[in-house]
Amino acid sequence: MPETRYTLTLPSDIYEELRIQAENRGTSIKDLVRQSLKMGLLAMKVEESLDTGLFLKERAEAGGIRETRLILA
């Protein structure tokens, strides 16, 4: 599939976080941005449906699981 080039200007704090995450994961910023966009698009599709949602599950300090619903604004 052919690619389309798009110039994206980011705030420096977001760029720095992307740079750190890419370095920690051993990948490029370009690939990390692509992965992030794919995840964001999936989240938007899920959010369109009233009977679905996206949740983060985290281990709580007490040993249980804490769920946080993601809401895109």
- What does the domain layout of the chain look like in residue ranges? 12-70
Length of the chain counted residue by residue: 73
Q: Which pLDDT value is given to residue 57?
A: 85
How far CA 34 is from CA of 7, 39, 53, 54, in Å, comes to 13, 9, 22, 20
Comparing 12 with 41, which gets the higher pLDDT?
A: 12
pLDDT digits (tens, 9 = 90+) for 24-40: 999 999 999 999 999 88
pTM of structure: 0.68
Token pair in block for residue 58:
């985290």
Mean model confidence pLDDT for the chain: 87
Q: Please determine, for residue 73, whether its predicted confidence score (pLDDT) is greater than 70.
A: no
